[in-house]
Structure 1
Amino acid sequence: MNASSRIPGFYKLDPESRFLKLLEFSGLPAEQLRPLQGTDVRMASIADRMIENAVGTFSIPLGVAANFLVNGIDYLVPMATEEPSVVAAASNAALIAREKGGFHTSGTDPVMIAQVQILDVADPHGARLRLLEARDELLALANAQDPLLVQLGGGARGIEVRLLESGDFRSVVLHLQVDVRDAMGANAVNTMAEALAPRIAAIARGRSLLRILSNKADLRLVRARAVFDAEKLGGPEVVDGIVDASRFAAADPYRAATHNKGIMNGISAVVLATGNDTRAIEAGAHCHACREGRYTPLSYFEKDADGNLVGTIELPLALGLVGGATKTHPAAQAAVKLLAVKSAVQLAEVTAAVGLAQNMAALRALATEGIQRGHMSLHARNVAAAAGAAESEIGALVQRLVADGHVRLDRAQQLLAEIRAESKSSPK
């Protein structure tokens, strides 16, 4: 008979007591589930404050990308990722970009959108104009919800009213545009949206339903550009190959999806390391890629008049320095201190530069040796460990795997058996 997952009061328990319940449920020995608790005992109480039903923490490798020069400022960039070669690739691309001045960025103000949906409106066009006429009243009511944000220079800035129709379904949707300063902004805009909903419904003469932020943060854009020296890249043929790969992504959504995944390899790693919301950033980025009605790349690469490679990127990045895990997770706090950024906009600019660097490095590999060769030696270490190699055996096994050209678990197990047989037969 299977144990029941219905555990009354589970949420009231402390992390250690919850772990004991896992042992009861699974019937497994403690040593098999112990890794779920993590290795840092101090993090258990922090995790219990951050999420529900916490039993421990899950560690992700955190590396530091070097060589980044963004708007004339040097950065060492923390990146949390499980994927081999990402940190090394970004660092190498940043080194090449330094030859021509590094990365240059710009962006918009940190404006987020809150949506208030109104249903059962008899005259949607009339309601739209009534709401626009009430702009000043609605902005004042929104700003009354967060006087501190207003004091810091932020607050509600404007409204937009959209009419949506799909078959018999019609709704009036008001967008409240809010400058959230150094916050990601979800809490601020959600509070405003909920406070405004009754008044908006009254003006529109309907009923409110959803009142929440949108992760399509297309008013909060960040741009980065860099010039990569042709000779440092490997010559004119490499530049042409990267440009052709970029054109491929612009023409084909199948390629664009993988192109943008390469960008997010860099961006999501910085977002996670700084305690920001990776899901919100990824949703906003991929939605932005569809802004023209089809899925397109977020970056482009061209050849300038001197034959060098020019890379550009533009995407929404709703990052924060206050609130959320950025202020509660010790590693995220340390990552932000290492970056020494003074604003959420500055953090977003550095993050965009990392995305462009990672993207260029991936395209360079694709256009020359292929993605696997540079990835192989790093990946081989993971495969060697998974095959059961001891620390003293990993180096030799990695060498054989890379030379063999088949970095697979079954092949690693075969080669490890050969290494151990050779070790036993060799004279002491």
Structure 2
Amino acid sequence: MKKIGFKLYLPGLSDYTPRNNNCIFELSKINPKMTEPVAGFSKFSKEEKIQWLSNYYLNNDPEAVKVLKQYWNREDKLQQLHDEFTENTISNFYLPFGLAPNFLINGRLIAIPMVIEESSVIAAASKAAKFWGSRGGFKATVLNTKKIGQVHFIYKGDFSKLQRFFTEVYSQLLDAVKPITKNMEKRGGGVLEVELRDKTEKLENYYQLHCNFDTRDSMGANFINSCLEKFAEVLQNEAHNYSDFNAEEKDIEILMSILSNYVPECVVRAEVSCPLDELSDDPKLDGQEFADKFLRAIRIAEVEKHRAVTHNKGIMNGIDAVVLATGNDFRAVEAGVHAYASKDGEYTSLTHASVENKIFRFWMEIPLALGTVGGLTSLHPLVKLALQILQKPSAEDLMKIVAVAGLAQNFGAVKSLITTGIQQGHMKMHLMNILNQQHATSQEKEFIIDFFRKNKVSHSSVIDQLEKIRQQ
């Protein structure tokens, strides 16, 4: 029997101290059947993958297998399409596809599709849209669309020689990618610039080609990476033929060629504003009092990192939901946005607010590298539908819509925090989840929902009311 031994270490001690060194587990006690790694799993059919999973990890539970299969699409063609989006597919994982209506953006009224499982996000975004729709709506402007890719390489030699070499080979780099950039250039995009950067202060012998691109309506990952790999190939080959280099300098080592998801120059601004006397819809607060509370809440997120993370997470609730619905890469967006929140050396709020001349203003500038062509946009039926709902936007239009969704979500969250508190609205939206967890009948749901129209929702209070009904 194969055995696994491990040591538990406690981080933070000056010397890592092992605890319970004799703690040994036998694989047979974890899983009596799985004793060796599976071979050729990717070549199994979907049925075979599920059977293997059932045998070794689901204790041959027919209900577990039933759950996996009940989410298969009944249309074979559509299921095959989903199967081919990724590897080793055994089922589909569904998320709610919702709609937030009444967004007035740059004078145009639109409904925004959102894919998210968290309660109250769509409700809060819709409420914020309605609030600002009667106050002039949202304004959104794309500030820049520049995207970045880098060729990372090692060069051991005289930097001045490398600079001369780069100057001489520059035109060859651009010529080499013309077959790749030809169609993009027809649409007004392409390679904007290629820059040699000396990074040896950070890492010995490390240099990079820092490249800027405009990919128009595509997110552009494949386009950028293809250009970068061609740049790397030319750089390496031409170095071998460069007469001014000695033998060591000719041997440029390409480490990697890859786009960056940090795009601080692919930025959109979204904002709202209105006179102070129109700002508050709370009878307990006038516009000035509301603005004072709101500005302090934003200021806290600007200066307090712990609050800033949660504050920005709320923004991403709105952003990610639209990014998912439109088939874009929410992981790339998340990484780039949070890096941008730290661009000045401290992690801080992405949104800002001010009052000047009795005008309240709330705004955000945020990097968003998005696409409306390529990838899933022409493959996933619901992604195609989402873009149709948005009236087939360009990438710049989508940047504006996504930024507005994030700003609206943040406004709604902060407004709740400084007035009723976040839980009142959130728990009412979460009520149905609690009832479903308790397997409430339709009659029980009807009674409970009616009861909590006038009462504060908490998990324990819902359970109590449900038990009272069932006892009666």
TM-score past 0.5 threshold: yes
Measure how far apart 1:251 and its partner are.
1.2
C-alpha separation between the residues in 1 aligned to 2:203 and 2:229? Answer: 26
Is it true that 1:12 corresponds to 2:56 in the alignment? no
Measure how far apart 1:167 and its partner are.
6.3
Measure how far apart 1:108 and its partner are.
3.7
In structure 1, what is the equivalent of residue 389 of structure 2? 338
Greater shift in the superposed pair: 35-44 or 170-179: 35-44
Measure how far apart 1:13 and its partner are.
3.2
In structure 1, what is the equivalent of residue 279 of structure 2? 230
Q: Does the aligned pair in 2 maintain the 1:139–1:157 contact within 8 Å?
A: no
C-alpha separation between the residues in 2 aligned to 1:393 and 1:198? Answer: 67
Greater shift in the superposed pair: 18-27 or 209-218: 18-27
Q: Does the aligned pair in 2 maintain the 1:132–1:160 contact within 8 Å?
A: no
C-alpha separation between the residues in 1 aligned to 2:120 and 2:438? Answer: 20
C-alpha separation between the residues in 2 aligned to 1:411 and 1:132? Answer: 72
C-alpha separation between the residues in 1 aligned to 2:436 and 2:409? Answer: 26
Cα RMSD of the aligned pairs, angstroms, is: 2.2
Is it true that 1:181 corresponds to 2:224 in the alignment? no
C-alpha separation between the residues in 2 aligned to 1:379 and 1:164? Answer: 50
Runs of 4+ off more than 6 Å: 401-404
Q: Could you give the per-residue CA deviations for residues 88-118 of structure 1, whole angstroms, max 9, x where no partner exists?
A: 1111111122223211111144332111001
SS at match of 2:100: strand
Equivalent position to 1:362, from 410, 413, 417: 413
In structure 2, what is the equivalent of residue 59 of structure 1? 94
Q: How does 1:32-51 map to 2 (within 5 A)?
A: 32-37=64-69, 38=71, 40-42=73-75, 43-51=78-86
C-alpha separation between the residues in 1 aligned to 2:203 and 2:106? Answer: 51
**Bigger Rg, structure 1 or 2:** 2
SS at match of 2:117: coil
C-alpha separation between the residues in 1 aligned to 2:170 and 2:462? Answer: 66
Measure how far apart 1:411 and its partner are.
5.0
Counterpart residue type for residue 305 of structure 1: N
Q: Does the aligned pair in 2 maintain the 1:145–1:192 contact within 8 Å?
A: yes
SS at match of 2:352: strand
Counterpart residue type for residue 320 of structure 2: S
Measure how far apart 1:330 and its partner are.
0.9
Counterpart residue type for residue 363 of structure 1: V
Counterpart residue type for residue 422 of structure 2: I
Q: Does the aligned pair in 2 maintain the 1:274–1:332 contact within 8 Å?
A: yes
Q: Does the aligned pair in 1 maintain the 2:428–2:457 contact within 8 Å?
A: no
Greater shift in the superposed pair: 143-152 or 73-82: 143-152
Q: How does 1:139-218 map to 2 (within 5 A)?
A: 139-165=174-200, 169-201=204-236, 202-203=238-239, 205=250, 206-218=252-264
Matched residues, number: 420
Counterpart residue type for residue 35 of structure 1: V
C-alpha separation between the residues in 1 aligned to 2:173 and 2:100? Answer: 45
Q: Does the aligned pair in 2 maintain the 1:121–1:127 contact within 8 Å?
A: no
Counterpart residue type for residue 149 of structure 2: A
Measure how far apart 1:286 and its partner are.
0.4
Q: Does the aligned pair in 2 maintain the 1:66–1:75 contact within 8 Å?
A: yes
Q: Does the aligned pair in 2 maintain the 1:264–1:355 contact within 8 Å?
A: yes
Q: How does 1:6-405 map to 2 (within 5 A)?
A: 6-25=37-56, 26-37=58-69, 38=71, 40-42=73-75, 43-124=78-159, 126-128=161-163, 130-132=165-167, 134-165=169-200, 169-201=204-236, 202-203=238-239, 205=250, 206-228=252-274, 229-232=278-281, 235-236=286-287, 237-307=289-359, 309-398=360-449, 405=456
5+ residue gaps, structure 2: 1-27, 240-248
C-alpha separation between the residues in 2 aligned to 1:302 and 1:395? Answer: 44
Taking a change above 3 Å as real, the CA distance of residues 248 and 191 of structure 1, as seen in their structure-2 partners, is same
Taking a change above 3 Å as real, the CA distance of residues 341 and 226 of structure 1, as seen in their structure-2 partners, is farther
C-alpha separation between the residues in 2 aligned to 1:394 and 1:132? Answer: 72
Q: Could you give the per-residue CA deviations for residues 295-351 of structure 1, whole angstroms, max 9, x where no partner exists?
A: 1211111224234x3111111111111122222211111101111133111111111
SS at match of 1:146: helix
SS at match of 2:84: helix
Greater shift in the superposed pair: 396-405 or 383-392: 396-405
Equivalent position to 2:465, from 406, 415, 418: 415
Counterpart residue type for residue 19 of structure 1: I
Q: Does the aligned pair in 1 maintain the 2:176–2:234 contact within 8 Å?
A: no
What percent of counterpart residues are identical?
34
Greater shift in the superposed pair: 124-133 or 90-99: 124-133
Greater shift in the superposed pair: 168-177 or 363-372: 168-177
Measure how far apart 1:404 and its partner are.
6.3
Measure how far apart 1:264 and its partner are.
0.4
Measure how far apart 1:132 and its partner are.
4.8
Q: Does the aligned pair in 2 maintain the 1:128–1:162 contact within 8 Å?
A: no
SS at match of 1:376: helix
5+ residue gaps, structure 1: 423-428
Normalized per residue, which structure has more helix?
1
C-alpha separation between the residues in 1 aligned to 2:415 and 2:164? Answer: 52
SS at match of 1:210: strand
Measure how far apart 1:127 and its partner are.
2.4
Measure how far apart 1:406 and its partner are.
5.8
Taking a change above 3 Å as real, the CA distance of residues 125 and 273 of structure 1, as seen in their structure-2 partners, is farther
Counterpart residue type for residue 95 of structure 1: K
In structure 1, what is the equivalent of residue 243 of structure 2? none
C-alpha separation between the residues in 2 aligned to 1:401 and 1:169? Answer: 64
